Structure 1
Amino acid sequence: MPLTAAASAREILTGLHEVMAKRGSAQSKLDRVVDLIAEAMTSDVCSIYLLRDNSLELFATHGLRKEAVHVTKLRMGEGLVGTIAASGRILNLAEAAEHPAFAYRPETGEERFHSFAGVPIVRLESPIGVLAVQHAEPRRYEEVEIEALQTVAMVLSEMIAGARLVDGAKRGRLRSAGPLRLTGLRLVAGMARGEAVFHEPRVVVEHTVAEDTEAERARVYSAFRRMREQIDTMAREAEFGMTGEHQEILETYRMFAYDEGWSRRINEAIDSGLTAEAAIERVQQRTRARMLDIDDPLLQERMHDLEDLSNRLLRIVSGRLGTAAQTGLARDTVLIARNLGPADLLEYDKRRLKAVLLEEGSLTSHMTIVARAIGVPVIGRLSDIRHSVEEGEAILVDGDAGSVIVRPNRALVSGFEHRMAMSQKRQAQFAAIRSLPAETSDGVHVSVMVNAGLAEDAATLSMSGADGIGLFRTEFQFLVSATLPGRERQQRLYTKVLDAAGDKPVVFRTVDIGGDKALPYLTDIQDEAENPAMGWRALRLSLDRTALMKSQARALIEAAPGKVLRVMFPMISEPWEYEEARALFEEQIAWARKAKRAMPSRIEFGAMLEVPSLAEMLDQLLPRVDFLSIGTNDLTQFLFAADRSDPRLAQRYDWLSPAILRFLKRVLDQARAANVPVRVCGEMAGRPLEAMALVGIGAENFSITPAAVGPVKAMVRSLDAAAIRNKLDRLLVKPPRDMRKTLTDWARRHSVTIS
């Protein structure tokens, strides 16, 4: 085999170019192609399988029996070839027969061959065939050989599609004239309706083999310059009202745009004989293949950013620049895309953009963060949405439920409009009590604060009617940054949050990174534990990486001159961890005083009770803390030993279980006796029925999502605290069979607003 993948591919592509230019049938050309590849790779076998009538048919071969051509067929997912086509992955095997998917076809005579390598032939992101090579001796193929095969497969896809040898990619379900209901992952809540608009038509690479390599390289260089100018302009002109995490997202985006490794890989693909468009697409295919093997959502998001830029570069180099953003939105729009980068989202007219639907997408995606900030509902994980909808079709989006209706009939539209009207009516009711206190009918005041992670969240406190920020997730800045945020950058964020909050309190939780919140720029903190939620994360990591905590401590102290600074430590298992964390902060307080820095007027320290073991040590902890926060999300899964992300366990426990209510009541009672305020954080406190039960066991401080403030405040104002506390005292002594039903019935009888 030649020394480099580029040289290997170039040798084959030169021959392919000659074959494609000559006259002859498609079959004769493919017969010549397999001979050409086998000769260039000194391979015993080279075979091409094509997707026809829903089967992968052996269409041409060098080395297998010729009588098997057009006879041997494999279903999608069947055998090694079917597995490659179904998964889109490469197989590289020293012993083909040992693979669990191996399916022997005696008519091929392949029993003499041991090693096997196969790559998918892809057109318009869908498999149309498989290119495979085999050798008699057992061996794994070199990386340069696989690279060459992938490049050749890309060129073959053009030839195969041009000759109309395949059915075409099976692009999802068949469309009908009637309504289509889809369910996906709720990324940003909200309801909307509009007409389907595709973010961008797919750029189909028509010409893959280059005639002038240097001319193609010049086209790529020019496209890179133009793309970088676009990204720089967007970074300067982004409208968020305030800089902060969003600016850092665009900085990450810019980092990829200027990445020399990416441009080098495209150049290498051009060296192999590809056109500029084909080279970009070739590197993009490699990125998609890598994404299949990445489990970490943050690293996957970095790959999505890179693919977003690849699409942008491909549009520039091909001269097809018209995304829906550039051509303008003429009507209320539901935007549809496979995935969307934050820079692309920012280009849209926010007056017309009503919702976004994605085939992919994730809760931690940069685009999701931006969409939440500008108030655009988003639903992700809508499989094959781009191929199930036609441009201009009507779409109803229920972001609260994560559901979509395409081509709704009159009855569905009427029902949706009714739900939207009810939602708007409820929002109006919540808005009417926004400035009123969350006070029960018998005069018990309940503090309703919000969880936040963006500087912009603090600026919207007055809109939600919240009493302050009960949990500011400082790790958000770390998760969306391309590099580790330095002290000054952290300080700027914390200052903005405190200034925007004004007189309302803000509780800063120190960084909760590690575990499943991996940072690509800190490779030494990656946690490969089977249960990362219980692993090396949060305070455990911070106490080990003291420089990280010292930097954050100094940033927080210097961000709050003359103000009350409230700091909370997460994931504490035993009191000594709190003591060590507080000691680190107090060292920085002493440093700041010695350096004559402007100091906070007061500093309060708190602990998060998420690990059940801490509840057994409260007598030791409570005298040392100014406040306590209960993190119900982690606490509940730890108490029940049930991972809430596992759908098989999602219904196996209930926040209204007597076990969790008894546990929380003991904590609340013990803290009250020690005169230490307790705040309940997390999803449990944001649900009106659960919040009613929490008031019933003595909770009077909540920190919840901004969207939950209105419903919880309405519940509190309709509640008699003494009555629910008497009821819970009795129920917890002798719990009913169904606590949820019992409390729901009680709330309805007493006219408590729980829905």
Structure 2
Amino acid sequence: MQSAVSASRSILTSLHEVMAARTHAQAKLNQVVDIIGENLDSEVCSIYLLREGMLELFATRGLEQSAVHVTRLAIGEGLVGSIAANIEMLNLAEAAAHPDFSYRPETGEDKFHSFAGVPIVRLERAVGALVVQHVEPRRYEDVEIEALQTVAMVLSELISNADLIDEYDSFAASPQFVDPQQLHGLPLVKGLAAGHAVFHQPRITIEHVMAEDTEAERQRVYLAFDKMREQIDKMASQAEFGVGGEHEAVLETYKMFAYDEGWARRINEAIDSGLTAEAAIERVQQRTRMRMRQIDDALLAERMHDLEDLSNRLLRMVSGQVGTAATMGLRGDAILIARNLGPAELLEYDRRRLKGVILEEGSLTAHVVIVARAMGVPVLGRVQGLRGYLREGDEVLLDATQGIANVRPGPAVVEAFEARSAKNRERQAAYAALREVEPISKNGERVTIMINAGLRDDVPMLAATGADGIGLFRTEFQFLVSAALPQRERQTKLYRDVMEAAGDKPVVFRTIDIGGDKSLPYLRTDDDGQDDENPAMGWRALRLALEREGLMKAQARSLLEASAGRTLNVMFPMVSEVWEFDAAKAVFEGQLKFLKERRKMLPERIRYGAMLEVPALAEMLDVLAPKLSFLSIGTNDLTQFLFAADRANPKLAERYDWLSPAIMRFLRRVMRQLDGHQIDITVCGEMGGRRLEALALIGLGIRRLSITPASVGPIKEMVRQIDTREIASAMDRWLNEPVGDLRGAITSWAEERGLDLD
């Protein structure tokens, strides 16, 4: 049998004449099935196209002609429906043996046993199916399947450009793109948002599938490959840190695929068959997607995603469409749609118009989620098949609190959403009115409420919320959003800008907390190039910083220089033992001595603190306390360590309650151990930003909270409604004789006193 390339080329040459002819759409389709049938020596060749949400038999060679425009199958119904639903080919020696087989007597297909079909795809969605059948039971050879898949691409162009379905846009008008849709996902950053769908990487529409000049198309691909490889090499060589440029290991897989001769050869073969450069890349990419759906190995599937990303990059280069939606600018309120995002990519968008984000992937600890939370942008993640339900410009109502996105919503849904949004705005206005009001309880106790930050643009929220300061400035954000290790001068400028913007209000800088779930592409965190099997408890935060002495020295010097003439509050993350705190402090003292010898301006005062995240540190607080000016309790990590439950795991993320008696008792023990020490004790993290949880913390004696800016108003309001002595007495009672449902007990207590803790 002839090769896949020659078979495809022979068919495409004939199809070129059909496309150029001035004949009716039906006549063109009738010619197409005859050409394919003759070239593949196939007894049956049929074309099904999506119309009014159904797959309709539009043309056939071998089946009953009376079945044309009569036989219709729903998406997922029968073998043809299965091909369209799954966007994958079928190759069967005995069609009737397949569980999805559906017999249609009007077609007269009784005598045909073998069956092969491929989807006709446009913009990543199936708009039809191309099918061949034989009387003899046999599986089709790869040559035949390759030819069918190539021809299906040409049919996609015929459908879109040649009026083959009577000006009916089957792709756009299928029910999943017209009817209202409610999509469900994982709330990553809670909140409400409304806008129109904007794809982070707008789809590239392939206008021309069939090549006029094969050699010219080949040269276009060669140039695109050269440009792409140059970019990958540049990425790998940027910002070397340590001997040998350790970040290169992270890009190793990308480089392997970028220089893979097999990938380039397959694209060349597709061009040889008569496809344009864009169509050839898309043709190979379609085959990759089909293979990805059959892969169970998570690691291998992730590697295939890398190849998908590179294919998109190559397609954009060869087509000249290299920008994202950010570079083109948002024209109105937007809900950003993406498979995944990096933090730097998110920051490229206009914050005034970016209202929300929906991701096909994403996790609670992803870098982009950390940044989005700081930006106040709601994010919904893990929405499977996202692009299969909406189009660019569709209206989207995002409720990332309940984990729902309504696409093309009906009037009732819009009305309910607007009512909820209006209530939200009323609350926000009420909270804004508390900006200048101090959070003092009914019995006269002052609670210090600060904000968490990590970007220069977060600092204005101090004035907007009336917060008492920044209780946690995450210095790693600057590292996460950079393509290369930030220079010391850049770090110094950021820290100085933040302190100047904060004015008289204190800022607590946490030293860099990277590694684990916050890996940097340009900085490998281990020695052997292997991923950490347990990143949450792995080589990260202070452990990594003490090992990379150059990294910590640079940050220490930057913070000291930026704090000249001011008070520097510096905090070390993930301290497990007292010697780690001592070692980190020694790095700062060493840099302080270095600056003093060079007569540099120094901070007026340095206050050293630690984060209590590792339970082991609680056993050494009597030794550590005399060395501390302040202690911050990081409830996010502390909870997962206490329960041995990875918060990035969806099955465990919501399983263990912050208001568990185990956590509350642990925190009460910490408070009692530090009683009498002149130490500021702060709770940092999401726990302190939730009213019910904050109420419980106040009941334990905690009077300092560092929370997201959005939570400041609600917590202020709650503090002003309570008597701290009452909740303290109740908490002691509940913890001395633990109740089965502590959350329920606190909720009932609050309801009895008319507290709104929603």
- TM-score, normalised via structure 1 length: 0.71
Indicate the SS of the match to 1:672. coil
Distance 1:655 1:408, change over 3 A: same
- Identify the match of residue 693 of structure 1 among 680, 691, 696: 696
| Aligned ranges 1:113-192 → 2 under 5 Å | 122-127=121-126, 154=153, 158=157, 173=176, 175-176=178-179, 180-186=181-187, 189-192=190-193
- 2: distance between equivalents of 1:50 and 1:409? 31
Please state how far the C-alpha of 1:754 moved relative to its aligned partner.
2.6
Please state how far the C-alpha of 1:211 moved relative to its aligned partner.
1.9
| Aligned ranges 1:291-310 → 2 under 5 Å | none
Partner in structure 1 of residue 210 of structure 2: 209
Q: Deviations over 1:485-532 (max 9, x none)?
A: 232333332222222222222222222222232322335646634432
Q: Is 1:601 aligned to residue 604 of structure 2?
A: yes
Please state how far the C-alpha of 1:610 moved relative to its aligned partner.
1.3
Indicate the SS of the match to 2:674. helix
Q: Which amino acid aligns with 2:520?
A: L
| Aligned ranges 1:159-308 → 2 under 5 Å | 173=176, 175-176=178-179, 180-186=181-187, 189-193=190-194, 202-213=203-214, 215-216=216-217, 274-278=275-279, 281=282
- 1: distance between equivalents of 2:512 and 2:28? 65
Please state how far the C-alpha of 1:314 moved relative to its aligned partner.
7.5
- 1: distance between equivalents of 2:371 and 2:397? 22
Distance 1:629 1:276, change over 3 A: same
Q: Deviations over 1:158-217 (max 9, x none)?
A: 5798888xx9779674754xx654333445544344567788985432422322256557
Q: Which amino acid aligns with 2:576?
A: S
Partner in structure 2 of residue 360 of structure 1: 360
Q: Deviations over 1:252-295 (max 9, x none)?
A: xxxx9xx9979x97996868864243356458668978998897
Q: Which amino acid aligns with 1:534?
A: M
Indicate the SS of the match to 1:536. coil
Q: Is 1:569 aligned to residue 572 of structure 2?
A: yes
- 2: distance between equivalents of 1:590 and 1:327? 48
Instruction: Kindly tell me the number of residue pairs found equivalent between the two proteins.
Output: 695
Query: Bigger CA drift: 82-91 or 632-641?
Result: 82-91
Indicate the SS of the match to 1:470. strand
- Identify the match of residue 579 of structure 1 among 575, 578, 582: 582
- 2: distance between equivalents of 1:488 and 1:8? 62
CA contact (8 A) 2:511 2:573 kept: yes
Q: Deviations over 1:109-145 (max 9, x none)?
A: 99xxxxx9x998743213566999xxxxxxxx9xxx9
Q: Which amino acid aligns with 2:468?
A: D
Partner in structure 1 of residue 477 of structure 2: 476
CA contact (8 A) 1:56 1:129 kept: no
- 2: distance between equivalents of 1:467 and 1:368? 25
CA contact (8 A) 1:516 1:527 kept: no
Partner in structure 2 of residue 520 of structure 1: 521
CA contact (8 A) 1:197 1:334 kept: yes
Q: Which amino acid aligns with 2:690?
A: R
Partner in structure 2 of residue 560 of structure 1: 563
Q: Deviations over 1:208-242 (max 9, x none)?
A: 23222565578789999999xxxxxxxxxxxxxxx
Q: Which consecutive unaligned segments of at least 5 residues does structure 1 have? A: 40-46, 62-69, 93-100, 111-115, 133-140, 228-255
Q: Is 1:715 aligned to residue 722 of structure 2?
A: no
Q: Which amino acid aligns with 1:403?
A: I
Q: Is 1:674 aligned to residue 677 of structure 2?
A: yes
Distance 1:13 1:189, change over 3 A: same
CA contact (8 A) 1:515 1:527 kept: no
Indicate the SS of the match to 1:436. coil
CA contact (8 A) 2:596 2:602 kept: yes
- 1: distance between equivalents of 2:402 and 2:307? 28
Please state how far the C-alpha of 1:81 moved relative to its aligned partner.
12
Query: Bigger CA drift: 729-738 or 648-657?
Result: 648-657
Indicate the SS of the match to 1:507. strand
- 2: distance between equivalents of 1:305 and 1:460? 37
Distance 1:517 1:335, change over 3 A: closer
- 2: distance between equivalents of 1:349 and 1:309? 23
Indicate the SS of the match to 2:211. coil
Please state how far the C-alpha of 1:15 moved relative to its aligned partner.
9.5
Please state how far the C-alpha of 1:643 moved relative to its aligned partner.
3.0
- Identify the match of residue 727 of structure 1 among 727, 730, 736: 730
Partner in structure 1 of residue 504 of structure 2: 503
Identical aligned pairs, as a percentage? 50
- 2: distance between equivalents of 1:311 and 1:698? 59
Partner in structure 1 of residue 707 of structure 2: 704
Q: Which amino acid aligns with 2:453?
A: A
CA contact (8 A) 1:539 1:572 kept: yes
- 2: distance between equivalents of 1:502 and 1:299? 48
Please state how far the C-alpha of 1:623 moved relative to its aligned partner.
2.5
CA contact (8 A) 2:452 2:706 kept: yes
Q: Is 1:662 aligned to residue 656 of structure 2?
A: no
CA contact (8 A) 2:326 2:348 kept: no
- 2: distance between equivalents of 1:519 and 1:286? 32
- 1: distance between equivalents of 2:625 and 2:693? 26
Q: Which amino acid aligns with 1:664?
A: L
CA contact (8 A) 2:570 2:608 kept: yes
Partner in structure 2 of residue 42 of structure 1: none
- 1: distance between equivalents of 2:145 and 2:585? 55
- 2: distance between equivalents of 1:282 and 1:290? 13
Distance 1:219 1:696, change over 3 A: same
Give the RMSD, CA atoms, in angstroms. Answer: 6.1
